[in-house]
Every structure is written in C-alpha cells, then in structure tokens.
Amino acid sequence: MLVREFGGTDSPAFKENVDSSWTKLKAPIEKKIILNDVAAMSAMRKACIPEQAALFDSFSSSTRNTRRWAQATAINVITSDLPAEQTMATVEVNLQSLTRDFGAYIAISQLFGKDFLDRYPALLEDFWKFDNDLFPLLVTGIPSWAPFKTIKYGMAARTRPIHELEALNRRIIQYQHGQPVEFDADMSDISEAALDRSKIYKRDGWSFTERAAADLAILWGQNANTQPVLFWFLAYVFSTPACVFETYLMVNEPTSIRLATRFVTVSDGDLKHELKPGMFISVPHSLINHDLSRFLHPDPDSGKLLARYGKLKPWSSGVGMCKGRPWAEKETLCLGAAIISLWDIEPTNGTWKLPAMMPGTAVKKPVEDIPVLIKRRTW
C-alpha cells in the first residue's frame, strides 16, 4: 500500500526500510496520540476543541475571511431586514464539506502543527481529492499512469502533499538540530509523535521522499474514515436523533485483509477452506454489522437496554484491528458534542433528507452533500 497508494518508491531499498522500521514508526503514534484513552484524551485537550468549535462557522462569504476548514463549502450569509440586534446571523453551508474539513484541520494540526496547514492552504482540498477520486482506483489495481483525467488530477493531488510533507520533514530536522528553520516556520506545536518518528527515519536512513510517503499514510489513516463518521454522527443526531453506536452501525464497513503465511484451514459450517501461503483473505465485517442487537444489551439490574460495543465491530477485529480507535472515538464525540452544543443546524429546505451512501474504505460516504442552515445557539 505504501507504494501503490501513498507514493513510496518501488525499490528493494524502500521495502527493506519499511520491513525494518515500520513497527518502530507506528509506536510513537500509538503511544503518544492514539492507542490509549489517556493519550487520546490529552491530545483532545491540547486541541482546545470548544474554542475551535465556537469558530466552526465564520459567518462570512468571503474566502479571505473564512477559516481554513470553511473554504471548500459555499457559504451564503442569510441577511435579514431586521436590525442586527434583533436577529441572529444564519449561514447556508454544505454540512459534509464543512464538518469533514473542520475535523481534518483539528486532527492534522494535532499531528503536524498548524503551520503545516497554513503554509499549504490547498492541503484539505488535495487530500479529499486523493482520497475520494484516486485511492479507490489505485486499490482496484488501475496503474497510476493510466491516461484518465481522474487519475491525472488525482495523482497531482497526491504529489502535492508528498512534496509538502517532504519539506515539513526537512523543517523538523532543522528544528531538532537547532538550525534556522526554513521560512522561520513555527514548529512549537508539532506533535512529539512526529518528532520521534523523525528520529527513527534519520537513524534508519530513510530519504525525505520515503518519509513523506509514510507520513501521507498516517495522515490518511487518521482522517479518511474519522471525518466521514463525524459528518454522519452530526447528520443523524440532528435529523433522527441517534447515538454514536447507531452511527457506527449504519456507516462503518470495515474489512480485514490478511495474508496467509502458512497453510491454514478455516471451517465454515459444513465447508472447509484451505488457505495456502501467499493467499490474501478479505473479511468484510460490515456484512453482519447492521443489526441493533449487536450493541443494545439489557442491563442485568434494570432490564433497560444499554448501548455497548458487544458484537459491533466498527473497527474490525483481531490483531490488526484499528489502532486509532480511542482517538477516533474521542474526536467524533468531542467535536460532535462541541458543535451540537454551540450550533443550531437545520436543513435548508426544512426537512431532513439524508443522502444515499456509497462505499468508502472503512466508512460509507454520502453521494451528495446536505445544504444546511447554521446559526449560533443562544442560551
């Protein structure tokens, strides 16, 4: 995947580097950001989510005045004939674009710092183009040189973040060695995880291009599924309302892909499947994930139904199960709760109609956006 999807060099040297360093490179992310509740919660606290959520909508239709996350959504400020003190500003936006970019801005700045996002304003647009348009085609085996527009523009949208991540990795090294940092960039909020990974890259002899491909993989893993979940969570809470488990039930569709390294026999009712070394096995958990009984369990004392993970598998299962789960959960709940408590959101045409879904990588995506009216709650 690092070569096909994320632009790593297709060479024996890169493969050797990945084989020897990958576990070491995952450790700083897992220990310092995502793997346990305390680390994930501390990352959320540092992100100042309530303060950021207060700026979720910037009430401006001028690109120059909008926040970075609001730039992909068309913003229409609804004016009123009433005097300003008698009316609350309302804006019309596309909920998916706004939510997804808001979540990604907060997530990426926790990992690579705000300067990275501010120095590369097209990052979010490029990232979603790469994820939505190019990624699925490359997964199905279409070569990156195929003469289609989608591939051409998708590849350009992948190349730009790779170059920017390469430049960021150079700045990290300058910062770590006490040298003047290019552009005098602010490196003060770059995560410890990114700094620790940089030391491993250097020690293990990774080139800057290789570092960038591996960092793009992390950036993708952190955002590609988390932000669509945040969007669906908000859409369900405002329209239905629903809880986060119902959201997972409706939209998560994880698949485990495993490589057999020895002969294995898998029993399947009356059937037996013989797996030979070198075979890939794909386990689409979503096929059996869409049933309320998977997460609603009667409380033994009160008999009331309680929401618990139970048999619900939104993060896949087994040893390769998503390591970012504690972090993704906290991001969805913290950002979701902050937005819900600060903003009133209703559909532009007065009736909620959720869009149809199409497959994503581990979370379904909406086929179209939802235009909504947003205004600040008053207390």
Instruction: Give the residues lining the site for ligand HEM (CB under 6 A).
Output: 26, 29, 34, 218, 221-222, 225-226, 229, 252, 254, 256-257, 314-316, 318, 320-324, 327-328, 362-363
φ/ψ of residue 244, rounded to 5? -65, -35
CB of residue 49 to ligand HEM, shortest distance in Å: 15
CB of residue 285 to ligand HEM, shortest distance in Å: 8
CB of residue 252 to ligand HEM, shortest distance in Å: 5
CB of residue 156 to ligand HEM, shortest distance in Å: 25
CB of residue 314 to ligand HEM, shortest distance in Å: 6
Nearer to ligand HEM, 90 or 285 (CB): 285
Nearer to ligand HEM, 191 or 222 (CB): 222
From its phi and psi, is residue 286 left (phi > 0), alpha (psi between -120 and 50) or beta? alpha
Nearer to ligand HEM, 91 or 251 (CB): 251
The residue assigned the tokens 């591996």 is: 214
Q: What residue number has its CB nearest to ligand HEM?
A: 324
Alpha-carbon distance 187 to 173, whole Å?
11
CB of residue 328 to ligand HEM, shortest distance in Å: 4
What kind and span of H or E run contains 222?
helix 208-223
- 169 and 201 in contact (C-beta within 8 Å)? yes
Nearer to ligand HEM, 89 or 200 (CB): 200
From its phi and psi, is residue 205 left (phi > 0), alpha (psi between -120 and 50) or beta? left
What length does the chain have?
379
φ/ψ of residue 281, rounded to 5? -120, 135
Per DSSP, the residues of 284-339 read EGGGGT--GGGTEEE-TTT--EEE--TT--TT--STTS-TTHHHHHHHHHHHHHHH
CB of residue 183 to ligand HEM, shortest distance in Å: 27
Nearer to ligand HEM, 11 or 317 (CB): 317
Alpha-carbon distance 91 to 368, whole Å?
19
CB of residue 251 to ligand HEM, shortest distance in Å: 9
Instruction: Give Cβ neighbours of residue 29 (< 8 Å, ≥ 6 apart).
Output: 193, 197, 218, 323
Structural tokens at position 5: 């999807």
Nearer to ligand HEM, 147 or 318 (CB): 318
Nearer to ligand HEM, 34 or 374 (CB): 34
Nearer to ligand HEM, 357 or 373 (CB): 357
- 155 and 144 in contact (C-beta within 8 Å)? yes
Collect contacts of 320-324 with beta carbons under 8 A, ≥24 apart: 320/256, 320/258, 321/256, 322/254, 322/362, 323/26, 323/29, 323/30, 323/34, 323/35, 324/34, 324/221, 324/222, 324/226
CB of residue 278 to ligand HEM, shortest distance in Å: 18
Nearer to ligand HEM, 155 or 336 (CB): 336
